[in-house]
Structure 1
Amino acid sequence: MKVEIWSDVACPFCFIGKRSFEDALERFEHRDDVEVTWRSFQLDPSAPPSSDHGLDELLARKYGRTIEQARQMNDQVTQMAAGVGLEYHLDRARPGNTFDAHRLIHLGRAHGIADAVKERLLRAYFTEGELLSDHETLVRLGAEAGLDADEARDALASDRFAAAVREELVEAHDLGLQGVPAFVFDRRSQVTGAQPADLFLQALERAWATSAA
C-alpha cells in the first residue's frame, strides 16, 4: 500500500501529523508493506527567502488578529506538539520560502533517506530556529541527515529537482488538497490535518481492506 504525504516544512501541524502517523504506522499490522512518500506543498509559494517578522506578527497579519491573540494561537500549537513528544520554540522560528528545502527532500528521496531529511528540517525549523531558505544551512542539515554535503551543495546551486517540486505542487491542486498535512492512501482516500494516531490507524486499516478487496 502506498501512502503519499503532502506537507510543508514550515507547517506546524505537519510535524505533529508526522508523529501521530508514525505512531499509528508502528501499530499497524501490515506496516512493513506500506510505502510512504513525502510530497511537496508550500503554504506560501510567494514568501521571500527570509522575513524581518516573527511568526506571531505574520500570523496576526494573516488572520487579522492582535499580536497577543496570535501568540496565544502559537502557544496552543506548542502545547499540541508537546502532546506528541515534540518541543516547539515558535518564538525562534525564522519564516522564509521553503522551495529549496523541498528540493533537498527530493535529493533525500533519491538516496532513500527522504524521511530522515524531512525530520531534520522540521526539527531545525520548529525547535532550533534555523532559516530553511539558506543554502549552507540546508547543506549542513542535509549532511546531518545522511546526505553528502558536496552533492547537496551542488544540487541547491543548480535547478536540480525544481521541476519535480513544481509537479507535486500542481498535483496537490489537481487532487483537491486544500490544506496540509494531507495523507493520501493509494490515491483512493485521504486524511487531512494533524489527526490523532487512532484515526490514522483506522484509515490505514480501511485503506488496506480496500486494497485487498
Structure 2
Amino acid sequence: MKVVLASASPARLSVLRAAGIDPAVEIADLDEDALLDGMPDASPATKVTMLASAKATTIARRIAGTVPEAVVIGCDSMLHIDGELVGKPGTAERAAQRWRAMAGGRGELVTGHAVLRTADGDIDRAAEGHAVTGVRFAEPDPAELAAYVGTGEPLVVAGAFTLDGLGGWFVEGIDGDPSNVIGISLPLTRKLLAAVGVRVTDLWKRD
C-alpha cells in the first residue's frame, strides 16, 4: 500500500521516517486563509482539523485514479495562545513580535490530522482528529531573539518556534505528546490508520 504525506513540512516527513514509514510527498495548493475566513467562529481544533482534511482530500482525489490503493495523511498545526490561534509568522517582524508576546508563557500546539484510504479510484474510508500539546516557553534575551529570528526558522513554522530545531533552545518544556509539537502525532496517527483498516506496523519499511 502506498503511503502519501499531504504536507510540505520536512519535520513531519522526518518524524514519519524515523518511525519507520517513508511516504511519498504530495503538496496541496490551498488558500488556507480563505478556508479559515469561512469559519470564524469555529474552535481551534475544528479549524486545524478542517485544514488537514482539505489537504488530504485534495491529494487523495489527485492520486485515486493512478494508484490502486493508498493511504493519505494530512496535518495542519497552529499555536493557541492568549485566546488567539496563530500560524506561520511569514515575516521577521511578526516572528519577533510573536516571541516577545509569548516569552515566559504557555500555549497549546494544536494539530489536526486526517487519514484517507483510497481504493478503486475513489476515497474508500476516512478518519480525522486532533491532538493538543502544552508548550512552556523560555524568555530569550534580546540578542538571542534577534539571532533566532535572523536564522529564518521561526518565520516558516506554526507559532514561530520548533521543538526539534533551533527553537528547542527556547522551549522550557512540554505537556503531552512531543511528536505532535513537531507536526504529526504518532499515537493519534496510529489510531486513525486503524480506523481506516490499516495496521501501522504493516507500513514499516523493510530492509
- Tell whether the structures are fold-level matches, with TM greater than 0.5: no
For the superposition of Structure 1 and Structure 2, which TM-score range results when normalised by the shorter chain?
under 0.3
TM-score norm. by structure 1 comes to 0.27
Structure with bigger strand share is: 2
TM-score norm. by structure 2 comes to 0.27
